[in-house]
Amino acid sequence: MGKKRVYTFGNGKAEGRADMKELLGGKGANLAEMNLIGVPVPPGFTITTEVCTEYNELGHEKVVDLLKDEVEKAIAHIEGLTGTKFGDKNNPLLVSVRSGARASMPGMMDTILNLGLNDEVVDGLAKKTGNERFAWDSYRRFIQMYGDVVLGLKPQSKEDADPFEEIIDKLKEDKGIELDTDFSVEDLKGLVAQFKEAVKKQTGKDFPTSSYEQLWGAVSAVFNSWSNARAVYYRRLNGIPDEWGTAVNVQAMVFGNMGNTSATGVAFTRDAATGENIFNGEYLINAQGEDVVAGIRTPQQITLEGSRRWAKLQSISEEERTKKYPSLEETMPALYKELFDVQEKLEKHYKDMQDLEFTIQEGKLWLLQTRNGKRTGAAMVKIAMDMYRDKLIDEKTALLRLEASKLDELLHPVFDSLAVRSAKVLTTGLPASPGAATGQVVFFADEADKFEQTILVRTETSPEDLEGMHVARGILTARGGMTSHAAVVARGMGKCCVSGAGGIKLDYHARTMTIGGRVFQEGDWISLNGSTGEVYEGKVETRKPDMSGDFGLVMELADKFARMSVRTNADTPKDARIARDFGAKGIGLCRTEHMFFEGERIKAVREMILASTTEGRKKALTKLLPYQREDFEGIFEAMEGYGVTVRLLDPPLHEFVPHQQATQKALAEEMGVPIEQIRNTVADLEEFNPMLGHRGCRLGITYPEITEMQTRAIIEAALNLKKKGIDARPEIMVPLVGTMKEFKLQAEVIHKTANKVFEERGDKIDYLVGTMIEIPRAALVADDIAREADFFSFGTNDLTQMTFGYSRDDAGKFLPVYLDQGILKEDPFQVLDQKGVGQLVELGTKRGRGVKPELKVGICGEHGGEPSSVEFCHRTGLDYVSCSPYRVPIARLAAAQASVR
């Protein structure tokens, strides 16, 4: 026997398990698991993710050959459990064919329901169930989905409606009907005929009638959908590898569209937006599959409490609510109870918030999916901490539950409460995903970048809109509930979203929306409050969010487990203080050149650069000294008690000089030299490759007086603070060292200057002198350098530039292509290239510590705040990472997770 490609489940038994997600995909593994723990699930089977890879290599025909025997047996397995027959006219088995990758990619790939129907089977189904309407409703849905997914009948342009929906809308108009459920059997028959005709007309093919032909077509379509544009984009956004592939789940249909004792819905065991521990969800009576999330009818709430909250937001009276939109708790109390128990059981079993799909067929409950629910950053923190407090999970599990980069959402601004009070509310919808967003209105996802800040407004969103949703600041939809596509995707992205704002009428052709009689054009400003569902006119002010509560608790836990400490990259006292509030324990990189640009200073800097003698340079530097000293005092004070690594002047000097005629002239007058002299010096400073030119310690070597002045400013600042009883801990860092001698010479200048200052002042402080390792050679000769240096700080930005030989400032031209073609998996300037650049970090650390075991080592590139890079630094034994202030909490959590893992 060859390798097993198909795994069956059904009736309390399964060949798979929850921990087989790699092979069976998340959906398949959990369908198996639900069977094993006694949750009612329609029987079926899963074709493994490995077959997807085979499919991509071998193609349709070969893969059908490989699968045929196993699939036929598995179909027989379903037939046995359901007492039906696939393709049979009298007692047909209908199945769904569903995608399901290892990591959930909601709505990104395709699913086909009611497969197995044709003109004869539909009659059989009608007879068997005594429900002709249901049979034809299922048939028209099947042709619609199959036509779209397998046969490729799609809208021709973005302004066009879906071709099937167009036919449906036309019929509704002709008949004066509003809802799908109002169609008569004859209407549905008419729709089926029109659908088939449309398929034939656009694709030139007849709709397939053989159930196996349908099945194989659907299986291939699911495999193909792994490579569709939106799935590819979703994977890139979420760092899911292309090689994983999707599994295919084939499962007996259960029907929520069999009449008024049938229903379908989606539920969450806790609130995915806020994390609140309340069961919630939406459902529709006499509906199927995606009806609830597609926003075609207004979905109803599952719980009574939720239903009342919803009605209030929609300004619907209690009377109207009970009549038109009652909760499941009210319409089907016994089934509600059963569903409630199942959700409790599932959450206890998986020990995480679950997102589930269910269908009720003539009074019987079936579960169709469970997965760890997507949630906002705030909900993520609250749920993990609640479960930890309730002892459902331990400290370490709680930490590992958190996605470090999602903490970012908690640091975003919220609306200023005063500004909100005076803002004009245009309309309200559902608070689908919290946050504050302000932007200019656009109506098409592919135009979300039309203005700098946009709000994407749609009747409802679809998976094709993913990229635009990512780009927009916020999303507003006219239809759809809390489980609509827009809502779920926005929460996953941590993007502000208001859904189901029924007061909005959209005209895509005219590019306008009308709210309460007022017309808004594309480009008009609006603001969204994703926490209340309010839509405001114009721009509304925002303020800093609150960092206490559960967020504080997470940080406490993180510090308990993290081995590495987290510092920040900060050049100003303000940034230093922000970072300190976020828990930074020191500064890993303080760039001094930023201090050279402000006001009067730039003049002195230019004088220094343009001076033709050492004397002239010294004179200019003397002017700079007080400014620098003051800057350092501010920063050291803000970081009192913690180390502050100050990097000596690094950039090429020509960045500071004036390039325009007028500024050159003004400078010449001020310095009392002819303008030609200025012009010549500026020309002299031009370099072909400034990033590899006269910069870094090369400046300090050629002009030691610069190093002297900066050292003096640092040491004097620390001594001044000491006098005031403030504990300053300077660490002086020499940039861009490639040889031991460079460092040694600079260190000598630094020590000499420091000693001189100590003598002058009759006082002393402790300080360190170390270097940045950012030239590959420095990593290779790290043992030599470590003999002289107190610490190493890997400058992974330059180290990446020089290891790859990519100029970061010019990489925009080719990096996107490299990522597209898979030459690189990730942008190496964002995610540390562990395989290449990482080797240099490892080697440099090992060689350095080989001669000086106590050598302090950290990194200060952008990577210091990127979770996978932080994890790498932990494994490599670094003492700290340093990152921008707003990434400090992320790095702290990532450092703790690395320790726990």
Catalytic residues: 485, 860
Footprint of ligand ADP on 275-304 (CB under 6 A): 289-290
Question: Closest distance between ligand ADP and the C-beta of residue 152, in Å?
Answer: 18
Give the one entry of ligand ADP, Mg ion, none that residue 163 binds, where binding means its C-beta sits below a cut-off of 5 to 8 angstroms depending on kind: none
# residues contacting ligand ADP (CB under 6 A)? 17
* Stretch binding ligand ADP (CB under 6 A), from 15-23, 245-253, 554-562, 615-623: 245-253
- Using DSSP's 3-state secondary structure scheme, residue 709 falls into helix
* Stretch binding ligand ADP (CB under 6 A), from 251-259, 314-322, 412-420, 554-562: 251-259
Question: Closest distance between ligand ADP and the C-beta of residue 104, in Å?
Answer: 7
Residues 6+ apart with CB under 8 A from 167: 191, 194, 195, 198
Question: Closest distance between Mg ion and the C-beta of residue 591, in Å?
Answer: 9
Pattern of binders to ligand ADP over 855-894, x per CB under 6 A?
A: ----------------------------------------
Give the one entry of ligand ADP, Mg ion, none that residue 798 binds, where binding means its C-beta sits below a cut-off of 5 to 8 angstroms depending on kind: Mg ion
CB of 111 or CB of 484, closer to ligand ADP: 111
At residue 196, what is the residue type? K
CB of 369 or CB of 793, closer to Mg ion: 369
Give the one entry of Mg ion, ligand ADP, none that residue 528 binds, where binding means its C-beta sits below a cut-off of 5 to 8 angstroms depending on kind: none
Do residues 150 and 217 make contact, with C-beta atoms less than 8 angstroms apart? yes
Residue nearest to Mg ion (CB): 798
List, as one string, the DSSP characters of 116-162.
T--HHHHHHHHHHHT-HHHHHHHHHHHHHHHHHHTT----SSTTSPP
Do residues 611 and 684 make contact, with C-beta atoms less than 8 angstroms apart? no
**Site residues (CB under 5 A) for Mg ion?**
369, 774, 795, 798
Q: Is 106 in the site for ligand ADP (CB under 6 A)?
A: yes
**Token output for 170:** 């036309």
CB of 296 or CB of 566, closer to ligand ADP: 296
**Token output for 90:** 């009298």
Dist CA 257 CA 288 (whole Å) = 6
Q: Which residues make beta-bridge pairs with 764?
A: none
Kind of pairing, strands 44-47 and 6-10?
antiparallel
Give the one entry of Mg ion, ligand ADP, none that residue 253 binds, where binding means its C-beta sits below a cut-off of 5 to 8 angstroms depending on kind: ligand ADP
Give the one entry of Mg ion, ligand ADP, none that residue 102 binds, where binding means its C-beta sits below a cut-off of 5 to 8 angstroms depending on kind: none
Q: Is 788 in the site for ligand ADP (CB under 6 A)?
A: no
Q: Is 42 in the site for ligand ADP (CB under 6 A)?
A: yes
Give the one entry of ligand ADP, Mg ion, none that residue 258 binds, where binding means its C-beta sits below a cut-off of 5 to 8 angstroms depending on kind: none
Give the one entry of Mg ion, ligand ADP, none that residue 709 binds, where binding means its C-beta sits below a cut-off of 5 to 8 angstroms depending on kind: none
Dist CA 799 CA 779 (whole Å) = 9
At residue 147, what is the residue type? G
CB of 109 or CB of 706, closer to ligand ADP: 109
Do residues 299 and 403 make contact, with C-beta atoms less than 8 angstroms apart? no
CB of 41 or CB of 841, closer to ligand ADP: 41
CB of 327 or CB of 369, closer to Mg ion: 369
CB of 55 or CB of 234, closer to ligand ADP: 234
The position carrying tokens 């006098």 is: 723
Dist CA 685 CA 185 (whole Å) = 83
Of positions 39, 113, 378, 890, contacts ligand ADP by CB under 6 A: 113
Dist CA 312 CA 320 (whole Å) = 11
Give the one entry of ligand ADP, Mg ion, none that residue 795 binds, where binding means its C-beta sits below a cut-off of 5 to 8 angstroms depending on kind: Mg ion
Q: Is 369 in the site for ligand ADP (CB under 6 A)?
A: yes
Give the one entry of ligand ADP, Mg ion, none that residue 774 binds, where binding means its C-beta sits below a cut-off of 5 to 8 angstroms depending on kind: Mg ion
- Using DSSP's 3-state secondary structure scheme, residue 448 falls into coil
**Token output for 669:** 């007058």
**Token output for 700:** 């300090």
How far are the Cα atoms of 436, 447, 472, 477, 886 from residue 457, in angstroms, in the given order? 15, 11, 10, 6, 30
- Using DSSP's 3-state secondary structure scheme, residue 521 falls into strand
Residues 6+ apart with CB under 8 A from 492: 106, 374
CB of 293 or CB of 888, closer to ligand ADP: 293
Give the angle 288-290-291 at the CA atoms, nearest 5°.
65
Of positions 111, 484, 707, 746, contacts ligand ADP by CB under 6 A: 111
Do residues 6 and 74 make contact, with C-beta atoms less than 8 angstroms apart? yes
Of positions 269, 359, 542, 801, contacts ligand ADP by CB under 6 A: 359
CB of 271 or CB of 290, closer to Mg ion: 290
Of positions 8, 96, 262, 746, contacts ligand ADP by CB under 6 A: 96
Strand spans (E) along 464-509: 474-477, 496-499, 504-507
The site for ligand ADP (CB under 6 A) is made up of 42, 96, 98, 106-107, 111, 113, 251-254, 289-290, 357, 359, 368-369
